[in-house]
Amino acid sequence: MAEVKQITFTINDEKLTTPAGTLVIEAAKGKGIEVPSFCYYPGLSLQAACRMCLVEVEKTPKLQTACTLVAVEGMVVKTDTPQVHKARKDMIEFLLSNHPLDCPVCDKGGECELQDMTFRYGLDHSRFNEEKLHYPEEKWSPLVYYDAPRCILCFRCVRVCDEGMDVKALGIGSRGVNSVILPNKPGELACEECGMCIDICPVGALTSGTYRYQTRPWEMKYVPDPCTHCSNGCKTTLGVRNNEILRANNRDHSGVNGEFLCAKGRFGFDFTHNPERVRQPLIRRDGRLEPASWEDALEEIARRLKQVHEKHGGNSIGVIGSNHTTNEENYLLNRFARATLGTNNIDHHRTADYAGLAAILGPKAKDAQATMADVYKANAVLLIGNDVTNQNPLVAWQIRTGVRHHQTRLYAINGQPSKIHRQAAHGVETAKGGEAAAVRWLATGEGQFEQSVSESLGQMKSALEKESDVAILFGADIQGGAIRDLVAFGSRLGGQTRYMALGDYSNSRGAADMGILPDRLPGYASLADKTERERFGKLWGGEIAATPGLTARGMMEAAVAEKLKAMYVVGANPVKTFEVAQPDRLAGLELLVVHDMFLTETAQRADVVLPAASSYEKDGTLTNTAGELQMTHRSIDPQGPRSDFDLLRILSHQLGMLGLGTPIRLRTPEAAFDEIRQNVSGYDVSVASLLAGGAQLTSAACKSPEPNYQAAAGAVFSSHDNLFSSGTLGRYCSRLASTKEAKDTPWSSSPSTQSWWYR
Amino acid sequence: MTPEQIIDEMKKSNLRGRGGAGFPTGMKWSFVPKDTSKPKYILANGDESEPGTSKDRPLMEMDPHQLIEGILIAGRAIGAEQGYIYIRGEYHYIIDIVERAIGEAYARGYLGKDILGTGFNFDLSAHTGAGSYECGEESALMESLEGKRGYPRIKPPFPATVGLYGCPTVINNVETLSTAPAIIRQGGDWYAALGTPKNGGTRLYSISGHINKPGIYELPMGFNLKRMIEDVAGGMKDGKKLKAVIPGGSSCPLLSADEIDVAMDYDSVAKIGSMLGSGGLIIINEETCMVDLARRIMHFYAHESCGWCIPCREGTAWLRKLLDRFHDGGGRAEDIPLIDELSKNMLGRTFCPLGDAAALPTISIVKKWRHEFEDHLRGKCSFKPAEMIVGAS
């Protein structure tokens, strides 16, 4: 990169050296000098509309806006003069002239930028003796309300919707003092309901349908948790009062997502209080699921598991894990399956071929992973498959922001239309499902396409070959051999090529990393590797067999065919996910145990249902699709349900008493995480940083490359969730589901989830 | 003539922009970069909206070909091949005239490809505003022309480098461009000699108000204001005494009767604290209520404030309400300094000059006719309303 010239200028008598092109407002901030502003928002286009950031510049007669003023060599700026203070006072006075002083009932009261600025810079009395303007409040959607009188017209909302989200739902109506923000589509908010406009609003003009008039901000405690929906791992700060989550946002810009959150992250939390939630254990008696005590339920499970194990052996038991539960829970489940029950029949719904990427890259994976920040910083992004706008909203935001801020070139290959193609420097639309073939062509030149596609691919290839530092992102369409092709192509590109597999759920990556796979131990250690088997066997107090078990789909088929005798399902709904043809035949199982929050299609057929805590109700760690690990915290008491961690631990003790396996001694998720750090490849990350709220990049990878690794057919597939759905959880988020968009958008292009929602 | 020669003649002519700011035209044209691959544009600003000003209207109405010729000269000077005439929305009948003239020019081969065999290409079209004063501000005009909301742009960059569609652009007032043909035909020196030093040529004055012969007059730069009123425009109507003069459109500080012995050029008027502006003179007689005049002027600016920046948006609206109340007899002693201070709080701090335009006349009225405000406090308005002077409402 070209060396950026440094310049020196003076601000409040202090000399300051900064890169040429720095805005005075930013340079001042770096020096700890506050230049107040409303309309200036880092990363969005400049406005110079609020005039709060006026500063004095030597040899310039008029005050200048620091938000548009570029510092140049020798410039002398003053932010602390009577003239500047007077200007700020006057601007606040103007702003307050029509602003309703309804702070006592305004949602923003206590965290309002106008309040803070008035306190700090404003007059202590009002000279406005006229009638204030008034407009009625407007409901733009069940999630977004607009109160025009409170609006100070900083246009942040309009800009974030246009520039940040590429949605362009908001505009400006009327003129002068009558100006208002309004939806561009008359009368409705035709948008992605991300709510970015609400959080970016400095005042209480835009308020959230889920939060408004619920509480005062200082009455809540704040718990920073990774969002429990998609795989991107956005930090969402939960506002909790009286054991209820009242809002979620990321106003402090902590986490890998900065200010970004999508509709699910911001509004998708009310599943915790959904009345359909299972709150006590259920045992099937006379064909019906009936409430039971924890003691009875756990005793029942232990007894019957022991029976099946004795009668048919460990291989007659199948275990299906979750892509929503924590790493610690998955780690424990792996131990529970392999060491306690003695089965390798363990798998989960794999939504990206993380194992494939780890196998093909081998130890190189450590340095070849793209982080969320890399997607923003990369010179170029090659995106193959996956509708990121809907399925990986943070990835889409990072791509859009990179394109906007530093002209990242996006190369996109997709078998379906995708909104992100608007940002693409080069987009290729292949035949449906043709992504892998296109990758094969890029790598080897093999394959036949329609002429228009092959020409376009050819142009893309030669453009890519001139790029360096490319981030390659791919969805579930690229797995096994296609990843091998992709890495072959990527390794020929200049600079550092980084990869990211795009999965669906909050711990999809963690489930794979923790070895919830029939052929892998934690950290993608191969079952064929005797040393690894013995290492984990010793750690877990059991013997691990070398033969890979059944895939999740295979287990469901075997269960229906009565080849499996018992199934243990944690936080998954395989009946729906794998479209089990004759689910009633699961009754043939001697035991079906399900941990879940809701009575899913699978739970409805269980013999014992254990009510599980959600990710917002327990401690642990989650790994996002990029491999970035974050801690999640118990924000509320689940009131009845228990964490899967506790359930597995207790059960291991029960089984231990019956002589099956050894009890799990790890008492807390933190203790389990310590064991993970010491024993799972790529997970030895800094705890200090995690405790401080940061993210740490993990790098679970195979010991040596396994270029021929191929997941079983049908084992890896995406649910094609969108901004309003996320497996089971999404349908229990009533606020999210109440939006027009949620009702309008086709839930999925995949039949596996389409019927799901409309059950 | 080469482009350089055209620009030299324009510089020599001392022609200064007739829109109001008085920027030297030749200099403006010379700022356009020569070594750019981008297309360049000429814009004629015919969004004449300044109260009291109506001099671009007759130019477009009665001699549109002179304007077209001026645009072609500017195009040739900077190497532009496309021009637009942006016409005030309320001048809807003029768009037909201008479009007809453009059609005639195309038919004669004065516009289009390879004009008169010179190899010079130039296309021109007319576009109407939609009734916004702000769109007369050059950058807002460009936004409007691009089909966006008429908000002004952050400057720098200036239009000469980043203008219409992000390309180098010369934007001149209709009168300015209409002057170019005469300058090129008769020479910059000839034109400069018509006026005073640094203020070349003649300009059009729209004279209105309490005057015997309101109308549009072409006079040399530096013509004495007193003579303009008494000799040229036939003196005060009905023999009333003069109270005040708005010298260059409603956004200029007002002159009192004892200030009118002044040469009407940019520098002399600036010296006595006002502006030559758009050349829109409004003559105000002794019977006029100056509080009402201030109120009406503020109504105009509050109505026309685009709403982009806080001080103009909130300041004009506040002052409008305050002046309404004040004039209706609800004034309080502290309101008089408040009117002055609120105006000064806008002055120089707004995004574009609209805030200044609202502040300057108000400040001058409070300063020079403060006693009339004080009279109102005592429930007394012994004057006639000012509806004849500035707009309705």
How many Cα neighbours within 13 Å face the side chain of B261? 1
- Which residues from chain A sit within 8 angstroms of residue B307, using beta carbons? 153, 172, 174-179
The whole-angstrom separation of Cα A429 and Cα A431 is 7
CB contact under 8 A, A128 and B149: no
The phi and psi torsions of A757 (rounded to 5 degrees) equal -70, -40
CA distance A428 to chain B (A): 29
pLDDT at B389: 59
Neighbours of B293 (CB within 10 A): 30
CATH number at residue A622: 3.40.50.740
Domain boundary among A468, A496, A524: A496
CATH number at residue A43: 3.10.20.740
Complete DSSP assignment for B111-171: SBSSGGGSS--BEEEEEE--S-GGGGSHHHHHHHHTTS--PPPPSSSPTTTS-GGGS-EEE
3-state secondary structure labels for all residues of A188-210? CCCCCCCCHHHHHCCCCCEEECC
Place of tokens 């069940």: A142
CA distance B209 to B227: 16
| pLDDT of A4 | 84
User: What percent of chain A shows pLDDT beyond 90?
Assistant: 93
Instruction: Round to whole Å and give the CA distance between A396 and A398.
Output: 5
Last residue of a domain, one of A496, A530, A546: A496
Look at residue A753 and tell me whether its pLDDT is greater than 50.
no
Please say whether the beta carbons of A412 and A421 come within 8 A.
yes
Nearest CB neighbour to A177, from listed B307, B338, B349 = B307
Same domain, A556 and A700: yes
User: Of A127, A131, A176, which has the smallest distance from its Cβ to B306's Cβ?
Assistant: A176
Residue from B310, B327, B341 to probe the interface with A (highest A Cβ count within 10 Å):
B310
Residue A105: CB atoms within 10 Å: 10
Looking at the predicted structure, is the pLDDT value of residue B312 above 60?
yes
pLDDT of residue B392 exceeding 70, the answer is no
Residues A269 and A286 in one domain: no
Q: Are B41 and B164 in contact (CB under 8 A)?
A: yes
Nearest to A660 by CA among A329, A301, A325, A345: A301
Paired residues of A380 in beta bridges = A409, A470
Sign of CA dihedral A321, A245, A576, A721: negative
Given CB atoms, is A134 within the 8 Å cutoff of chain B?
no
pLDDT of amino acid B387? 63
SS3 B346: helix
Any B CB within 8 A of A125 CB: no
Pairwise CA distance, residues A356 & A383, whole Å: 18
Residue A505 DSSP one-character state: S
Query: From A181, which residue of chain B is nearest by alpha-carbon distance?
Result: B307
Q: Which element (helix H / strand E) includes A595?
A: strand A591-596
| Per-residue pLDDT at A727 | 84
Residue B391 confidence (pLDDT): 52
Give CA angle at A154 (A148, A156), nearest 5°: 100
Angle between helices B174-186 and B3-12 (to 10 degrees): 100
Q: Are A686 and A677 in contact (CB under 8 A)?
A: no
Mean pLDDT of A572-582: 95
- DSSP structure class, residue A70: B
Distance CA A720, CA A476 (A): 10
The predicted model gives A59-84 an average pLDDT of 97
Report pLDDT digits (tens) over B359-381: 999 999 999 999 999 999 988 77
**What are B's interface residues with A at a Cβ cutoff of 8 A?**
132, 149, 154, 302-311, 313-318, 321-322, 325, 332, 335, 338, 345, 348-351
- Assess whether A414 and A269 both reside in one domain: no
| Residue A420: CATH number of its domain | 3.40.228.10
- Pair A618, A636 in one domain: yes
Grouping H, G, I as helix, E, B as strand and the rest as coil, residue A422 is: helix
Considering the domain boundaries, does residue A626 fall inside one?
yes
pLDDT > 50? residue B274: yes
Q: How far is A100 from chain B (nearest CA, A)?
A: 14
Residue in A90, A117, A125 to test binding to B, most B beta-carbons within 10 Å = A90
Query: What percent helix, strand, coil does chain A show, rounded to 5?
Result: 35, 20, 45
Q: Which contiguous run of DSSP H or E holds residue A113?
A: helix A113-121
A502 contacts A720 by C-beta, under 8 angstroms: no
Q: Which of A42, A255, A65 is nearest to A164 (CA)?
A: A42
The DSSP code for A323 is S
Taking an 8 Å cut-off on Cβ atoms, the answer to whether B310 and A54 are in contact is no
- What is the rounded distance in angstroms from the CA atom of residue A573 to the CA atom of residue B46? 69
Query: What is the dotted CATH code of the domain comprising B203-285?
Result: 3.10.20.600
Q: Is A50 an interface residue toward B (CB < 8 Å)? A: yes
Is residue A456 within a helix (H) or strand (E), and if so which, with residue range? helix A451-465
Among residues A624, A616, A557, which one has the least CA distance to residue A231? A624
- Domain parsing of chain B, residue ranges: 3-194, 203-285, 290-377
Q: Are A248 and A287 within one domain?
A: no
Query: What contacts A66, CB < 8 A, 6 or more positions away?
Result: A23, A24, A25, A28, A35, A37, A53, A54, A55, A77, A79
Give residue-wise pLDDT tens across range A477-497.
999 999 999 999 999 999 999
Residue B393 has pLDDT above 70, yes or no: no
CATH for B290-377 is 1.20.1440.230
- Give me the amino acid identity at A120: R
pLDDT at B70 over 70: yes
pLDDT in tens, A196-255: 999 999 999 999 999 999 999 999 999 999 999 999 999 999 999 999 999 999 998 989
- B350 contacts on A by Cβ (under 8 Å): 51
A615 closest CA partner among A278, A264, A232, A229: A229
Q: Kindly state whether residue A200 falls inside one of the protein's structural domains.
A: yes
Residue A106 covered by a domain: no
Strand order in the sheet with A282-285: A288-291, A282-285, A608-611, A591-596, A566-570, A317-320, A346-347
| A188 and A254 share one domain | yes
Q: In sequence order, what are the beta bridge partners of A526?
A: A520
Burial of A59 (0-12, 13-18, 19+ CB in 10 A): exposed
Q: How confident is the model at residue A457 (pLDDT cuts 50, 70, 90)?
A: very high
Give φ, ψ of A326 to 5 degrees: -75, 170
Q: Please provide the average confidence, as pLDDT, over all residues in chain A.
A: 94
Q: With CB atoms and an 8 Å threshold, state whether A94 touches B311.
A: yes
Dist CA A635 CA A626 (whole Å): 25
Beta bridge partners of A35: none
Residue A454 lies in a domain: yes
| Pair A165, A247 in one domain | yes
Q: Are residues A240 and A192 in the same domain?
A: yes
* CATH fold of B3-194: Rossmann fold (3.40.50)
Q: What strands, in cross-sheet order, belong to the sheet with A76-78?
A: A14-19, A6-11, A76-78, A54-57, A64-65
**Which residues in chain A have their CB less than 8 angstroms from residue B332's CB?**
129
Q: Does residue A68 sit at the B interface (CB-CB below 8 Å)?
A: yes
Q: Quote the pLDDT of residue B388.
A: 55
The answer to whether A363 and A703 have CB atoms below 8 angstroms apart is: yes
Q: What is the average per-residue pLDDT within B315-325?
A: 98
Of A581-590, A719-728, B121-130, B205-214, the range with the lowest mean pLDDT is A719-728
Domain finish residue from A473, A496, A519: A496
Cα–chain-centroid distance for residue B35? 32
Please determine, for residue B267, whether its predicted confidence score (pLDDT) is greater than 80.
yes
Q: Is the ipTM of this complex over 0.90?
A: yes
Q: Verify whether the Cβ–Cβ distance B316 to A177 is below 8 Å.
A: yes
**Which has the closest alpha carbon to A502: A378, A411, A391, A374?**
A391
Question: Residue A198 corresponds to which tokens in the numbers above?
Answer: 């609400």
Q: What is the pLDDT of residues A396-407, one digit of tens each?
A: 999 999 999 999
User: CB of B349 within 8 A of CB of B359?
Assistant: no
- Report yes or no: A126 at the B interface, CB cutoff 8 Å: no
Average pLDDT over residues A557-568: 96
Q: Which residue of B has its CA nearest to A127?
A: B338
The answer to whether residue A669 is domain-embedded is yes
| B321, B332, B351 member nearest A49 (Cβ) | B351
Beta bridge partners of A65: A54
| CA pair distance B75, B62, nearest whole angstrom | 22
Please check the confidence at residue A751 and state whether its pLDDT lies above 70: no
Q: How far apart are CA B88 and CA B67, in angstroms?
A: 15
Residue of B nearest to A178 (CA): B307
Count helices and strands in chain A by DSSP H and E runs: 26, 30
- Domain residues for the domain of A392 are 369-496
Amino acid at A64: Q
- Whether residues A243 and A325 fall in one domain: no
Residues 6+ apart with CB under 8 A from A354: A501, A503, A508, A509, A512, A513
Closest CA to B230 of B272, B188, B271, B260: B260
Residue A93 lies in a domain: no
pLDDT score of A758: 28
Name the percent of chain A lying above pLDDT 70: 98
Q: How far apart are CA B38 and CA B226, in angstroms?
A: 49
The size of the A-B interface in CB pairs under 8 A is 90
Q: How many domains, chain A?
A: 4
User: Which CATH number goes with the domain that contains A267?
Assistant: 3.30.70.20
For residues A638 and A544, membership in a common domain is answered with yes
Task: Burial-class residue A133 by CB neighbours within 10 Å (0-12, 13-18, 19+).
Answer: middle
Query: B313 to chain A: which residues are within 8 Å by CB?
Result: 94, 153, 176-177, 179
From its phi and psi, is residue A340 left (phi > 0), alpha (psi between -120 and 50) or beta? alpha
A593 assigned to some structural domain: yes
Instruction: Tell me the C-alpha distance between A150 and A127, whole Å.
Output: 19
Q: Tokens at residue A537, please?
A: 């066997």
DSSP-derived secondary structure letter, B327 = I
- Pairing relationship of beta strands A380-384 and A409-414 according to DSSP bridges: parallel
Interface test with chain B among A97, A117, A162, A203, by most B beta carbons within 10 Å: A97
Considering the domain boundaries, does residue A241 fall inside one?
Answer: yes
Whether A174 sits inside 8 A of B132 (CB atoms) is: no
My answer on whether A535 and A652 are in the same domain is yes
* A130/B309 touch (CB, cutoff 8 Å), yes or no: no
Alpha helix (H) residue ranges in chain B: 3-12, 25-30, 56-62, 64-78, 92-107, 138-145, 174-186, 188-194, 225-227, 266-271, 290-304, 310-325, 335-346, 354-368, 370-377
d(CA A199, CA A373): 22
Helix (H, G, I), strand (E, B) or coil at A622: strand
Task: Find, in chain B, the residue whose alpha carbon is nearest to that of A99.
Answer: B314
State whether A57 and A189 are in the same domain: no
